[in-house]
Amino acid sequence: MGLTCRDVMVPPEVQETIHTDDTVAKAFDIIRDSRVRFLPVVDTQGKFAGVFTAPTLIKMILPNAALIGMSSEATRVPISSLSFMDLTKEDFKEQITRLNEERVGDHMSNPANIPVAAPDTPVMEGIFLIHKFKRHVFLVEPDTGRFVGTVSPNSLMDHALS
């Protein structure tokens, strides 16, 4: 049998995760400290619930006025420049503190945009999913729903070079 996604995955001991009930402020700390762009979200039993991303975090920090006209239903023209708004370091810290009131589970990525596969999926299918979705593949045990790791371009290259 050929390589599977499990053979080239980043295991859960290495891949940072976050719980659905954790605050977005905690997600900010993990993203900042580990320099990752996403966090797999799990429930208290370790079941995969979704993904929280750095772009979602950035969107939450933006003032509501900046997002006017950005949705597909919007009829207004989006603001093209926010140069009239100042953001001091104190303002930024306030925005992050406000994120203590928000739960990660309420701000996960759209599940339709998240590639999920079983750990025993052939690696070529994992490579295709990375290409198709332009993001890591999240590996979930089919019987239990437990998160078991991710497959990334780097994990693929690391395996190829080892």
Query: pLDDT value at position 12?
Result: 84
Strands (E), 17-129: 18-19, 38-42, 48-53, 116-117
- The domain that contains 32 carries what CATH number? 3.10.580.10
What is the rounded distance in angstroms from the CA atom of residue 4 to the CA atom of residue 95? 42
Total structural domains in the chain? 1
Domain membership of residue 46 as a residue range: 5-161
Task: Flag whether pLDDT at 1 surpasses 90.
Answer: no
Average pLDDT, the chain: 87
**pLDDT digit string (tens) for 87-118?**
788 877 888 888 889 999 999 999 889 999 99
Query: pLDDT value at position 22?
Result: 97
CA dihedral 70, 35, 134, 130 (to 10 degrees): -150
**pLDDT digit string (tens) for 51-87?**
999 999 988 887 665 556 666 555 555 556 666 666 7
The whole-model pTM stands at 0.82
Query: pLDDT value at position 83?
Result: 61
